[in-house]
Structure 1
Amino acid sequence: MTPPVLVTGGTGTLGRHAVPLLREAGREVRVLSRRRHTSGDGVEYTVGDLRRDVGVDAAVDGADTVLHLAGAPRGDDTAARTLARAAARAGVRHLVFISIIGVDRVPLGFYRAKHRAERAVADSGVPWTVLRAAQFHDLVLAGVRNLAKIPVVPVPTGLRLQPVDAGEVAARLVALALGGPAGRVPDLAGPKVYAVGDLVRGYLRARGEHRLLLPVRTPGRIGRAYREGANLAPPGAVTGGRSWEDFLAERVGVP
């Protein structure tokens, strides 16, 4: 019997794509979640908490590959260290981690924690693969929706995004997980770069709505990093095929 692939964050944005792809590839899947779910159809759910180190050893036990997709605004480095230590103890043969483009260049606390998480994976002694991806369309849509709720929409000037389809990222991660450890692989971003104002306008057009956009300058080192494109795909990156416009047409609709 083939050992299961352990997926953290298996019920999240990426996990909802990745788990079915692993099953289609004929792999048994074990999902670590903080909440109870009903197991079935080749997917086993186990309860645990990476940040509190609860149930992690039991989740990793017997798995040969771990696909670490779980993320949170805080504590990603703690979670990665906990998982990496458990994977090393269990003799896991491949640890795959999803990170973010620019974690080593954008001075945000969340990015710094994600970069420390990368190092925890690389220093674990477990053969590893790390993929950095751009912001998912889903995340960008959530942010744009929040901005568009108010009559005058503040738009950070100089901030550009290269949103990527979560399904394409999941497919790439599954292919990497089913292959051999590869270290840092080429980053993955969407096919187009957009100013935030253009993302907002696209959303409003799809909704048939209008708002006044107010340019706002992002100050300090964070603003400078974004103006320099530290969050955009570097040379050699891979680009996906599904654009922001394609995503909006499906999720929001075009009048």
Structure 2
Amino acid sequence: MKRLFLVAFGFLSAFQALAFNFSLSESEFNTWDERCKIAFSVSGAGKKSGFYQNMAPRQNADMKRFGEEAGGAWHYCAGLILLHRANSTSGKEREENLIRAAKEINFTVARIPQNHEWYPEIYVDYARAQYLNNNKIEAFTTLKRLTTTHPTHSLAYTALAYYLKKENQLEQAIAALQQAPELLLNESAELNYFLGWYLMEANRAEAAVVYAKRAYELDYPVPTLRQRLATKGLSW
């Protein structure tokens, strides 16, 4: 009997550890994209929020399956809100938001299948939470792993380069972007834009033009790089 009690207690404790207890304002809810809204809708917290009308059983099942197949994506989505809250708080409150954000996102990271289309985005946000928690080595490890598991996804390289640059490692940031496969370099406007920008900042403006041209051929929407290069006499 005692053994049964201990087993039951252990199961209950595990369930409580994984329980999802999260509340948010309607304005915070509206910052989510549709995927997060769908995932949150089937969580207990989502059902209590009042942001949803009662769903038909089939619709509820489909939404629940969507969130579960993404590794319990409502945890990741909660982490995004907590990262946002950290931006507008300070001191202990900011620290608590960041710590919980990393934990919430990690819940999903540990469960999402590697072939899921949401995987790269979730890993990049997990690295952001790690970096903001001053776990910088872990953040770089997460992003380097992503370049290995998803070598044709531009987010893996641009995020890695961004954080390298924040650490004043500009040449390493350029090298990270240049490690992308040639096919990706030919197709990603974002990757070409940032490679051009970082080369310009490294006083290699003529080399930057090649990537800037490609970025704008691929319809990158921000004109700043082109304008900055023009001030250096490099127009096209």
Verify same fold: TM over 0.5: no
With a CA cutoff of 8 Å and minimum separation of 6, indicate the structure with the bigger relative contact order: 1
Give the TM-score, by structure 2 length.
0.27
Please tell me whether Structure 1 or Structure 2 has the larger radius of gyration of its CA atoms: 2
Give the TM-score, by structure 1 length.
0.26
**Which structure features the higher share of helix residues?**
2
